[in-house]
Amino acid sequence: MTAPVLEVRRVRKSFGGNLVLRDVDLAVEPHRVAALIGASGSGKSTLLRCINLLETVDDGVILLDGEDVTDPRVRADEVRRRIGMVFQAFNLFPHLSVLDNVTLAPRKVHGTDRRAAEEHARELLDRFGLAGKAAEYPDRLSGGQQQRVAIVRALATRPRLMLLDEVTSALDPELVTEVLAVIRQLKEDGMTMVIATHEMGFAREVADEVCFLDGGAVLERAAPERLFGAPIRPRTRQFLRRVTEAGRLAGAEAPAGHDGEVAEVPAPAEERSGPDVEAS
């Protein structure tokens, strides 16, 4: 059995009295993609920030290639060298050119010399359709181009794991396709990824496992075909029905679930906080 690149074990996180992550478990093997879905506020972004050590977990363990990165003795900067993260906002440095944005971390953090860093950056920019933008500044680019640059910047450090946090949410609809095409290419290249997304059709296409978060817990997890086609939990079915009605799950009918009906009532409190359901 292949050892996971990432393991999240019983992770809990609170902000004040608000429990944001509730005993979350997750395992992602090499070259596989896990998609996190759920309503806004369900804990998807917080989970990614905990994995990248931008937030400190209150309880539980996060392992990267078997190393406990939540150990207080671990240097967060060393861990982040092995993880690429792309945020909802592009977070490009406005005073730096595209090329300088992409080469900054390899040069300053990884100690790569400028020539090698720029050569690798240009290869990535060319590969993702940005070869002519190396000398441009972020404010001269479209939102889709800026987000593609942000993805290239994360790739420039040759990460072991990529985390993508709602990377299309700030884009106009016509720009979403070009960013999703980049992620699709990463999947084909075998990049290990955890993706938080509201793009259900895309999650169904690229993910090897989909995790539905609700109230800070992973309520249900399964292969995309099972979770989107026949979810077990009433709350999962309710969420997917509403997504379908809103047109976010293209080409899909409302999921029927195992009992052939779609729940329209909120899940009881014990279901929202109970253990997650996994595919058999």
Q: Give the pLDDT confidence of 135-155 residue by residue, as tens digits.
A: 999 999 999 999 999 999 999
Considering the domain architecture, whether residues 184 and 272 belong to the same structural domain is answered as: yes
Residue 17 amino acid letter: G
191 shares a domain with 141:
no
CA atoms of 256 and 236, how far apart (whole Å)? 11
Same domain for 254 and 190, yes or no, is: yes
Compare 111 and 254 and report the one with higher pLDDT.
111
- Residue 127 shares a structural domain with residue 235: no
Q: Are residues 20 and 149 in the same domain?
A: no
Question: The tokens of 28 are what?
Answer: 């992602």
Boundaries of domain holding 167: 6-82+161-278
Average pLDDT over the chain, rounded to whole? Answer: 89
Whether 105 maps to a domain, the answer reads yes
Same-domain pairing of 106 and 59: no
Beta bridge partners of 125: none
Co-location of 225 and 269 in the same domain:
yes
Of the three residues 120, 143, 159, the one that is the final residue of a domain is: 159
Q: Is residue 143 within 8 Å of residue 89, measured between CB atoms? A: no
Determine the distance from the C-alpha atom of residue 177 to the mean position of all C-alpha atoms in its chain, rounded to a whole number: 17
Look up the pTM and report it: 0.86
How many domains, in total, are found in the chain? 2
My answer on whether 195 and 57 are in the same domain is yes
Please indicate, yes or no, whether residues 213 and 120 belong to a single structural domain of this protein: no
Could you tell me how far CA 146 lies from the centroid of its own chain? 18
Model confidence pLDDT, tens digit, residues 175-188? 888 889 999 999 99
Contact (Cβ atoms closer than 8 angstroms) between residue 233 and residue 220: yes
90-99, 215-224, 260-269: lowest mean pLDDT where?
260-269
